[in-house]
Amino acid sequence: MIRLSCRSIGAAALIALFVPALRAAAQQHVPPAPDTTSSEPSAPAQQPDAAAPSPATGSDQQPSAPAPSGPPVFPKPDPANFTAAAPTKEVVNGFLQATWGYDADRMWQVQAILKTPADGVSKVIVLVGDKTGKQKPQVLSFFALPDGKHIVTGDDIIDFGVNPFADARKQLQQRANGPYRGVASKDLELVEFADFQCPHCKEAQANMDKLVADYPNARIVFQNFPIASIHPQATNAAEYGVCVTKLGGSLAFFQFAAAVFDGQDGLASADGATLTLNSATTKAGLDPAKVAACAATPEVKADVDGSVQLAKDLDVNEVPTLMINGRTVPATAPYDVLKKIIDYEVKADGVTGQ
């Protein structure tokens, strides 16, 4: 299901349990993983809040915050709850490790893998906790499909397995053809899907510029994903960007992109967009008339359409989205979290980032 949007990073309802560190800055499907259920597992009781001072003491001291209670103790799994032949506990743990491995505080236990009335469909139940005790334990459940490559959570079907990002990584290596910064090698490929008229895409450029500096051995690609239904001038901007790249190369494109994002308010109208895009083209050292003529061609439209289709094929439905060797994360996530995830993927994939 496609839900195209350019979202604020502060919407807490958009984050799933699979990325607890991104709760204040994530979007739906970033990174892809099952949603949580509402109940909590059996676990030690949480420490009570510190008592407020008695009015009789006259103290105005504020109550102290409760100390972390330490890691939860999960109940021992019952062998009777493992009735399905697949997926195995090892595969589920491999999937969770691939998804959560960057977070040293995350802990979990596979509690059940159950047969369901649907042939080959299994229900997986996992207890999830935080080693510091700062977060309450929760129960995660999802349905594993017979193909062994996908799971269902809510109304979404997402990739599953010990290497859940491998297929997306392969697609990006084959089809992500946008301008790039860094090296030609695709061993570490960071692909940003963005819309020139999206304000959160503009915000994400600070992170992208830092990544360029911190990961000189990465290939950092810009893929157009204009959402025309909410940003009427985004497609035109994307077409200009394709032509700037054709005529001036990747260096000219990123000069153009920085100028468009800086002047993003000018994209609010058709006339303003023309002035903004022509100005950005000039700043990139190119002739606006030549770029405008190029942007009107069917070949350029097909290029932008192809980039949009790639995003849809990868279930990218919001901008800005960053894909790290196939793993989807919000490009507006806190920078230290982005680095943790990239460093983890670098180690997991056996590549060089710095």
For residue 320, the domain's CATH number is: 3.40.30.10
Q: Count structural domains, the chain.
A: 2
Last residue of a domain, which of 137, 162, 187? Answer: 162
DSSP H helices in 28-179: 89-100, 166-175
- CA atoms of 240 and 253, how far apart (whole Å): 9
Percent share of the chain, pLDDT over 90: 76
Same structural domain for residues 230 and 298? Answer: yes
- Token digits of residue 118: 């649907």
Same structural domain for residues 213 and 344? Answer: yes
Same structural domain for residues 152 and 260? Answer: no
Same structural domain for residues 186 and 112? Answer: no
Q: In this predicted model, what pLDDT tens digit does every residue of 36-58 receive, in sequence order?
A: 333 333 333 333 333 333 333 44
Specify if 25 maps to a domain: no
- Looking at residue 137, its amino acid is P
Same structural domain for residues 198 and 111? Answer: no
Same structural domain for residues 177 and 297? Answer: yes
Last residue of a domain, which of 97, 131, 162? Answer: 162
Count the neighbouring beta carbons within 10 Å of the beta carbon of residue 121.
Answer: 16
Same structural domain for residues 237 and 113? Answer: no
**Predicted TM-score (pTM) of this structure:** 0.82
Q: In this predicted model, what pLDDT tens digit does every residue of 63-101 receive, in sequence order?
A: 555 566 789 999 999 999 999 999 999 999 999 999 999
Give residue 154's pLDDT. Answer: 84
Give residue 4's pLDDT. Answer: 62
Same structural domain for residues 142 and 262? Answer: no
Give residue 55's pLDDT. Answer: 37
Specify if 279 maps to a domain: yes
Specify if 4 maps to a domain: no
Specify if 39 maps to a domain: yes
Alpha-carbon distances, residue 63 vs 46, 49, 132, 135, 295 (angstroms): 17, 9, 21, 20, 63
Last residue of a domain, which of 114, 135, 162? Answer: 162
Question: To the nearest whole number, what is the mean pLDDT of the chain?
Answer: 85
Same structural domain for residues 140 and 38? Answer: yes
Count the neighbouring beta carbons within 10 Å of the beta carbon of residue 352.
Answer: 14
Give residue 66's pLDDT. Answer: 56
Give residue 67's pLDDT. Answer: 60
DSSP secondary structure string for all residues of 99-137: HHTT-TTEEEEEEEEEE-SSTT-EEEEEEEEETTS-S--
Q: In terms of residue numbers, what domain contains 108?
A: 33-43+70-162
Q: In this predicted model, what pLDDT tens digit does every residue of 299-319 receive, in sequence order?
A: 999 999 999 999 999 999 899
Q: In this predicted model, what pLDDT tens digit does every residue of 128-171 receive, in sequence order?
A: 999 998 889 999 999 999 999 999 988 889 999 999 999 999 99
Give residue 237's pLDDT. Answer: 98
Give residue 156's pLDDT. Answer: 86
Percent share of the chain, pLDDT over 70: 81
Give residue 69's pLDDT. Answer: 72
Specify if 21 maps to a domain: no
Same structural domain for residues 184 and 307? Answer: yes
Mean of pLDDT values over 242-266: 98
Same structural domain for residues 119 and 182? Answer: no
What is the biggest distance separating any 2 CA atoms in the chain, rounded to whole angstroms? 81
Same structural domain for residues 204 and 319? Answer: yes
Give residue 44's pLDDT. Answer: 36
Specify if 1 maps to a domain: no
Specify if 193 maps to a domain: yes
Specify if 89 maps to a domain: yes
